[in-house]
Structure formats: structure tokens, C-alpha cells
Amino acid sequence: MNKGQFAKPMTVAVGFFLLYVVPGLSRAQSGSPSPMQSPRVASPAQAKKDAQPADDFGGFNYTEEQKAEIDKIHRDSESRMNAVTKDQNLTADQKEAMLQGYARLEYGELFKVLTPEQQKVVRKRIDARRAADQAAKKKQPPRN
């Protein structure tokens, strides 16, 4: 098997791995409770279709430690996403899968930075959004 035939399926497999395995790891709880203003939460990948909305993490008062960790997560994620975007060896589908995987990874890392109370609020927001999405799907007519 030549290198090109192996790289494409491997890249797709890594993308799907990031999509499905990493969100399960985001259940860990950590953080510290002193209040501060919230930093930016949206990254370029979150603006893409099917990405998690930035408002899940909005409205919190973050500590200086949380702000620093969030900024580091954003910088790391942005550099990874830029590398994928500039990679000429990947197809558009592969790039999209990798970008979605990195967005989920970033989302999980951001979740770990939150205090347990903040995590509960984020979980409630996610549950509410999912319920609204399911209700909207039920209202749409079936496709033929």
C-alpha cells in the first residue's frame, strides 16, 4: 500500500476519533472560584457549521488563572486548526473532520477549566440547546 492510500483513511479515522472519544473525556472537574470578567470563547472553528456555540461558556466571571488557561487553549487550538487549513495533502472532507475534531477538543479543554458550578450551568445550557434542536427537527417535514 503506498503512502497516499494509507494517509487518507488514517486522517479520517483520527478525525472521527477526535469527534467521538474526546467529548467523553470532558467530564473531569477542576477550577478555582474567584470571580473575574469573561475572556473571548469563540475560535475560528466554532464559527463553522455544526460547531458548538460560544454562548455555552458566556456570561461567567472567570478567575485570572481561568483566563490564562482559556487563552492558552485558544492559542493552541488556533495553531492546530491553522496547520490543518494550510495542509495541502488533505481533502476538504478530511480538513472539515479534523477541524471539527479540534473544535470538540477545544470545547472539552475549556469545560475542564470551569468550576463545578460553572460546569453545571454549561451542561444545562447544552441540554436546553439539544432539546430545542430535537424539537425543531420534529417540526421539519421528512425528506424523501
Of 41-45, 90-94, 116-120, the least confident: 41-45
The pTM score is 0.58
Produce one character per residue of 38-63: b if its CB has 16 or more CB atoms within 10 Å, e if not.
eeebebebbeeeebbeeebbeebebb
Rounded Cα–Cα distance for residues 142 and 144 (Å):
7
Best CA proximity match to 57, nearest among 41, 68, 71, 35: 41
Please say if the pLDDT value at position 58 is more than 60.
yes
Residues 32, 42, 48: CA angle, nearest 5 degrees: 145
Q: Is the pLDDT of residue 61 over 80?
A: yes
Please say if the pLDDT value at position 99 is more than 80.
Answer: yes
* pLDDT recorded at residue 2: 58
Which cell numbers in the block locate residue 9? Answer: 483513511
pLDDT digits (tens, 9 = 90+) for 110-122: 999 999 999 999 9
- Of 71 and 28, more confident: 71
